[in-house]
Amino acid sequence: MTTTARTPSIAPAPPKRGTPRWIWVLVVVLVVAVTGAIALLGVSALTVFGAEPGPGVSYDPDNPRPQGARALAQIIDDHGGDLHQARGLDEFTDSPRPESSTTVVVSSVGALNPGTAQQFMDRVSDAHRVILIAPQDNALSLLRLPVRLEYGGAPTAVLAGCTTTEIADDDTITGGALGYSTSAPGATSCFTTGTASNVLIVPATSTRPEIVVVSGDMLINENLALRDNAGVATRLFASAHDILWYVPLFTDEVASAQEESDIPEALGPLVVLAAFAVLVLMLWRGRRFGALVTEPLPAVVKAIETTQARGRMYHKARADARAAAALRIHTLTSLASYLGLPYDAGRATDELAAPEWETMVAPGETADSAVHAIITTVVSVTGRDLPQVRTLLAGPLPTTDTGLVVFTSELTALEKEVRHTP
């Protein structure tokens, strides 16, 4: 009897599934979208950073808005002054070199950098006078001037208190919250509040012309018609026949004299192109090893729960004053950052942790000079009464739940008013 061995049947392997067509469509759409987004960002960056100052920039001679200086430029031009504008370093260097009959006016002083500041001072060494409008400390340092920024009082009428060829002793202007002081011998300080002068005249030396530093509040369109602002500004600016108004740009760069780099300029674009090619290759040859596995977390704590727990802790400890102090520190930090003023929030927080804080610090008024500088600037921006703002940002803190709620609402309203947000 013969037996026939049965050959085991082998099931055919299932056919490999190809990548669905919709995935390739999605990859192509994603690549096109990323490329378009990069191109759009590049165009936007060139548009923003390459734009010239103009309408909307404070103290700009072409800005007709309240903070601009178009009215002053027109008055100077109407009173016989030969006013020319130079926007950017290229136009400034293309203009005739300032001579003894030329006054050079500089607005947007903060746009100067070390290279352009040095080239500017070298070029105006023979000018009749240089007028700087509202410069900050960093710009004064770049120009190597013995002048520093000072904090004055709230904007108000200020008497001259000095006599020069352009300023009479009884002239009155609109003073600002910021002013200037100097250690230069022979300098003249006018319209001074405390140690802050709104007009500072530094005499010429062998390396630079006479420098006039102006706070700027009396020059803007909305204030020019008040008091003696227009007369004083016209006499200061039009003391020479020719006026060159220079508006630096943030994109200004001085050509470097260093040797050229050995690295080809095309290396950067090639690296970007290679990275993009690798990304496309990863999307093309990538493989998924199965569905993603979700792993439950042991615990999920919402961020709001931490805040609520801290609030319950303060409420249980009856620490309304500490809670109010923490809110005030947050508001002062936000206002200082927005207004460009110094404030040490870390030191204030350390003081808040002291055991004797509630009995020694909370009932009194803050004596921090940085806080008072913020108060003065907030008053000038919002127009509020000085005592009201001082009480809110430096006065005694509330000690009840009701007072804490009102205090929080007033801090929020003040910050929105400074930031001009609804």
Written as one letter, the residue type at 294 is T
The predicted pLDDT at position 365 comes to 66
Q: Find the mean pLDDT for residues 35-46.
A: 60
Pull the structure tokens for residue 94: 């293309």
Q: Find the mean pLDDT for residues 2-15.
A: 46
Per-residue pLDDT band for 216 (boundaries 50, 70, 90) equals: confident
Q: Given CA atoms 190, 195, 200, 203 in this order, what sign does their dihedral have?
A: positive
pLDDT more than 70, % of the chain: 77
Q: Find the mean pLDDT for residues 9-26.
A: 57
Q: How far apart are CA 266 and CA 300, in angstroms?
A: 50
Least confident of 76-80, 175-179, 227-231: 76-80
Q: How far apart are CA 87 and CA 247, in angstroms?
A: 5
Q: Find the mean pLDDT for residues 346-366.
A: 67
Q: How many CB atoms lie within 10 A of CB 206?
A: 5
Q: Find the mean pLDDT for residues 167-176.
A: 89
Exposed, middle or buried by CB within 10 Å (0-12, 13-18, 19+), for 399?
Answer: middle
pLDDT more than 90, % of the chain: 21
Angle at 158 between CA 152 and CA 161, to 5 degrees: 100
Q: Given CA atoms 197, 199, 203, 208 in this order, what sign does their dihedral have?
A: positive
Tell which wins on pLDDT, 137 or 153. 137
Q: How far apart are CA 141 and CA 40, in angstroms?
A: 38
The predicted pLDDT at position 113 comes to 92
Q: How far apart are CA 242 and CA 128, in angstroms?
A: 10
* Cα separation of the two ends of the chain: 102
Least confident of 130-134, 139-143, 246-250, 314-318: 314-318
Contact 243, 84 (CB under 8 A): yes
Does residue 3 carry a pLDDT above 60?
A: no
Does residue 5 carry a pLDDT above 70?
A: no
The predicted pLDDT at position 45 comes to 47
Per-residue pLDDT band for 53 (boundaries 50, 70, 90) equals: very low
- Cα 371 to Cα 29, 75, 88, 331, 377: the distances in Å are 54, 39, 37, 11, 10
Torsion of CA 165, 168, 174, 176, to 10 degrees: 60
Q: Find the mean pLDDT for residues 329-334.
A: 86
CA 164 and chain centroid, separation: 35
> Per-residue pLDDT tens for 287-316?
656 666 777 777 776 655 665 676 677 667
Tell which wins on pLDDT, 144 or 345. 144
Q: How far apart are CA 63 and CA 73, in angstroms?
A: 10
The predicted pLDDT at position 8 comes to 45
Q: Find the mean pLDDT for residues 69-83.
A: 85
Does residue 43 carry a pLDDT above 60?
A: no
Pull the structure tokens for residue 8: 């085991």
The predicted pLDDT at position 41 comes to 61
**Mean predicted lDDT score pLDDT of the chain:** 80
Pull the structure tokens for residue 320: 């309304």
Closest by CA to 256, choosing from 123, 125, 124, 119, is 119
Contact 144, 118 (CB under 8 A): no
Q: How far apart are CA 63 and CA 221, in angstroms?
A: 9
Tell which wins on pLDDT, 205 or 156. 205
The predicted pLDDT at position 399 comes to 79
The predicted pLDDT at position 306 comes to 65
Per-residue pLDDT band for 127 (boundaries 50, 70, 90) equals: very high
The predicted pLDDT at position 286 comes to 67
The predicted pLDDT at position 270 comes to 82
Phi/psi of residue 207, nearest 5 degrees: -110, -10
Does residue 274 carry a pLDDT above 50?
A: yes
Q: How far apart are CA 3 and CA 185, in angstroms?
A: 125
The predicted pLDDT at position 173 comes to 92
Q: How far apart are CA 341 and CA 373, in angstroms?
A: 8
Per-residue pLDDT band for 51 (boundaries 50, 70, 90) equals: very low
- Concatenating the DSSP letter of every residue in 196-218 gives EEEEEEEPP-SSS-EEEEE-STT
Does residue 7 carry a pLDDT above 50?
A: no
Q: Given CA atoms 246, 125, 82, 232 in this order, what sign does their dihedral have?
A: positive
* 3-class DSSP string for 115-180: HHHHHHHHHCCCCCEEEEECCCHHHHHHCCCCEEEEECCCCCEEECCCCCCCCCCCCEEECCCEEE
